Amino acid sequence: MSIQGNAVVAQSGGPTAVINNSVCGVVQEWLKGEPPGKLYGALFGIRGVLEENLLDLGRQPSHIIEGLRYTPGAALGSSRYRLAKEEDFARLLEAFKKHNIRYFFYIGGNDSMDTADKINRFADGVDYEIRVIGIPKTIDNDLPGTDHTPGYGSAAKFLAATVSETGLDLKGLVTSNRIVVLEAMGRNAGWLTAAAALAKREECDAPHLIYLPEVTFDRERFLKEVAGIYREYRFAYIVASEGIRYGDGRYVFAGGEKDPFGHVRLGGLADTLKELIEAELGVNVRGISLGTLQRSAAHFASRTDADEAYAVGAAAVQAALRGETDVMITLLRDETAGFYRCFTGTAPLSDVANVEKKVPAEWIAPTGSYLEDAFLRYAHPLIDGQVSPVFRNGLPDFVHLQNFDLPKLRRRLDRDVAGVIK
């Protein structure tokens, strides 16, 4: 069922601690046996295809490819470039034809799956045979059709450990700052924020309150709950999603800028809630915003997550070579096994694109500010195990893909920042 031709793999959107495992899975699976052509890596996402910045991954040393299994960031480079104009698709087709690309593997989240679906439909409309496979990744865990998303387990593990550690720091120190607000990523889905609940072992442990985008934020109820926890324990630890909203749909905090896909840029909620509590309750508050730490901490990655990120990359190649296209690889949990076990499957890209999977209402406590045990049973297996990177001089010895066309890349970056950095 395979067709002769070359393949390209690209990464898109925000990286995760394990996204390079998927690249490793694609490369090692493609190079098994006799592949139907070369495998290229597109530098900086779909733009790498448009600008023909392609790296022959088959020429990379094997130890570099294997080292991707513990290296964070986007080894190929990522972007949030949006294919919006007809000429973008025409240029893409020209690049595909020029390099005889017949297989396209796109690693990303909701917007990336929409891009992959559009590429497949465009190619089909002009009768160009290509197999397009989406490979899921996002710490937000909001892709439908899959039990969970590679990248989520490691971010959840890091967040829960951070809450546990900083919660003990708060509890054990006599200071005027006895309330902490930690802001978690996740935009419109609270999966990562909910993972903070994994940190709690005893009733008084952090976190005490968790606020998800799935529950309307009520200012007065929030203040009442914080005050109640503070009175009971003499300290309070709050975890809130960057994407919580008021009843009228407004984000509690949002910046004025938007990304190329039209999403409002978030980040800054911790300071907003800090100021609210201090103004209304008169207690000093410490705000914590982890930012990209949530998706970068490969030194604390989940073994389960890393292995599954590799598995979806390998499964994408297998699906393409047996003739599938316009699908995203999924993870399917075996609920009958009596222990945690997952398999790979597929879902149509059109069913996945631009659809957000939310935390089920029945997994959220009736108060709206904590999680039920059903969520903990779902999430615990996803953070299991550790990844052991190679260390040098006491620090992880991460790898870098070789032979980037540095002059060309430099010119592109200079063009992108022109007029931005004076």
The pLDDT value given to residue 204: 93
Q: What is the pTM of this model?
A: 0.93
Which is it for strands 395-396 and 391-392: parallel, antiparallel or unpaired?
antiparallel
Q: Which CATH class is domain 152-298?
A: alpha beta
Residue range 6-138+301-355+388-409 in CATH 3.40.50.450: yes
The pLDDT value given to residue 253: 77
Q: Please, are residues 286 and 179 in contact by the beta-carbon 8 Å criterion?
A: yes
Whole-angstrom Cα distance, residue 367 to residue 358? 18
Asked about 248 being catalytic, the answer comes back as no
> How do residues 123-179 score in pLDDT, each as one tens digit?
999 999 999 999 999 999 999 999 999 999 999 999 999 999 999 999 988 676 799
3-state SS, residue 241: strand
The pLDDT value given to residue 338: 87
Q: Is residue 255 over pLDDT 90?
A: no
> How do residues 25-50 score in pLDDT, each as one tens digit?
999 999 998 999 999 999 999 999 99
Whole-angstrom Cα distance, residue 318 to residue 306? 19
Which is it for strands 342-348 and 391-392: parallel, antiparallel or unpaired?
unpaired
> How do residues 48-77 score in pLDDT, each as one tens digit?
999 999 999 999 999 999 999 999 999 999
Q: Is residue 246 over pLDDT 80?
A: yes
The pLDDT value given to residue 404: 60
Nearest to 307 by CA among 387, 418, 237: 387
Would the CATH topology of 6-138+301-355+388-409 be identical to that of 152-298? yes
The pLDDT value given to residue 81: 85
Q: Is residue 4 over pLDDT 70?
A: yes
> How do residues 297-334 score in pLDDT, each as one tens digit?
999 999 999 999 999 999 999 999 999 999 999 999 99
The pLDDT value given to residue 177: 73
Percent of the chain surpassing pLDDT 90: 84
The pLDDT value given to residue 85: 83
The pLDDT value given to residue 75: 96
In the set 140, 147, 305, 326, the catalytic residue is 140
Whole-angstrom Cα distance, residue 75 to residue 400? 7
The pLDDT value given to residue 411: 63
The pLDDT value given to residue 12: 95
Half-sphere exposure of 108 (CA within 13 A, CB side): 33
For the chain, what are the domain ranges? 6-138+301-355+388-409, 152-298
- DSSP string covering 95-164: HHHHTTEEEEEEEESHHHHHHHHHHHHHHHHTT---EEEEEE--TT---TTSSS-TTHHHHHHHHHHHHH
The pLDDT value given to residue 354: 83
Q: How far apart are the first and last CA of the chain?
A: 54
> How do residues 364-421 score in pLDDT, each as one tens digit?
999 999 999 999 999 999 999 999 899 999 999 999 999 765 556 656 656 665 555 5
3-state SS, residue 421: coil
Which is it for strands 236-241 and 6-11: parallel, antiparallel or unpaired?
unpaired
